[in-house]
Amino acid sequence: MSTYAVGDIQGCYKALKRLLKKVNFSPARDRLWCVGDLINRGPRSLETLRFLRGIDNSLSVVLGNHDLHFLAMHEGFAPTLTKDTLSQLLDAKDCEELCEWLRQKPLAHFEKLETENGLEDFLMVHAGIAPNWSIHKTLSLAKEVEMALQGKEYRKFLKGMYGDYPACWQDSLEGQDRLRAITNYITRIRFCDELGNLNLKIKDGLGSAPQGFKPWYEYEKISNVATILFGHWAALEGKTGKPRVVALDTGYVWGRKLTLMRLEDHKFYSISA
């Protein structure tokens, strides 16, 4: 049995199938972890979700910002953006079922696996975490959003999800502001300062960092005790400079590569667009 973690699929169903075939993936034997942004921007979001739902027993998924955006669109709380490619999914007869399946997925996944280096801790999120969040705190805060998304008032969360503020985490945050801040850190963060203030406008590579800001993973301490898997930031091209902080979004939907990492030996497999 092997465990594979894949970068942002973004509706590139055929590419995902090609990559899984390359490693001879079998849902009866292996497991697949997805770092979020399963859909949107690519051409086959509907087929992607149907396939992943079909192998749910062999799957671990965390939600990304595009996945949450789709859920908000389905409820009528978000306009269609220029680059959205979700119309076929939104019009599908099983759209409601796929939404229900997605709403049950977490924002963070933690697991211990037996690897070549012995028992190893892995934390998977879509974008990142705030400075000085521990594994326990990350999972606990993620659970707050998960409960809101899975609860009876999930529409209230989706309606109030959008926005860049509060820009800095404080334990005293409450209500929708608290949920929005948690969501922004876990599914949207790229740059922040040492206090955790977010800059969510800059989406380019490391050279675009505003003064006083660095990539979120330059501050966190979790990678001292766990390997962090994330996506979201295609401009990194899979490079963080930190062996235990693994960037898996290598920009297939932008004409580059789709990448898998086999967790047991940290070996990478890619296909080009």
The candidate with the shortest Cα–Cα distance to 123, out of 188, 65, 68, 62, is 62
User: For position 220, what pLDDT does the model report?
Assistant: 86
User: For position 223, what pLDDT does the model report?
Assistant: 87
Of 33-37, 98-102, 141-145, 218-222, the one with minimum mean pLDDT is 218-222
Count of alpha carbons within 13 angstroms of residue 35, beta-carbon side: 32
Angle at 221 between CA 220 and CA 222, to 5 degrees: 100
User: For position 5, what pLDDT does the model report?
Assistant: 98
Mean of pLDDT values over 117-137: 96
Mean of pLDDT values over 52-67: 98
Mean of pLDDT values over 59-66: 98
User: For position 80, what pLDDT does the model report?
Assistant: 81
User: For position 146, what pLDDT does the model report?
Assistant: 98
Backbone angles phi, psi at 123, to 5 degrees: -120, 125
User: For position 79, what pLDDT does the model report?
Assistant: 82
User: For position 19, what pLDDT does the model report?
Assistant: 98
The structure tokens 């969501």 sit at: 183
Q: Name residue 63's beta-bridge partners.
A: none
pLDDT above 90: percentage of residues in the chain:
95
User: For position 172, what pLDDT does the model report?
Assistant: 98
Residue 81 has pLDDT above 90, yes or no: no
Residue 49 has pLDDT above 90, yes or no: yes
CA distance 30 to 51: 15
- Return mean pLDDT, the chain: 97
Mean of pLDDT values over 173-192: 98
The candidate with the shortest Cα–Cα distance to 228, out of 115, 126, 93, 136, is 126
Q: Name residue 115's beta-bridge partners.
A: 118
Number of separate helices (H) and strands (E) present in the chain: 8, 12
Domain ranges of the chain: 3-272
The candidate with the shortest Cα–Cα distance to 216, out of 259, 170, 185, 257, is 185
CA distances for 141 relative to 25, 51, 55, 225, angstroms:
33, 29, 27, 19
CA distance 1 to 26: 9
User: For position 185, what pLDDT does the model report?
Assistant: 98
Q: List strand residue ranges (DSSP E) for the chain, in order.
A: 3-6, 31-34, 59-61, 108-115, 118-125, 191-192, 198-199, 214-215, 227-230, 245-247, 257-262, 267-272
User: For position 221, what pLDDT does the model report?
Assistant: 87
Q: How far apart, in Å, do the first and last CA atoms of the chain sit?
A: 28
- Cβ proximity of 227 and 244 under 8 Å: yes
CATH topology of domain 3-272: Purple Acid Phosphatase; chain A, domain 2 (3.60.21)
pLDDT in tens, 233-251: 999 999 999 999 999 999 9
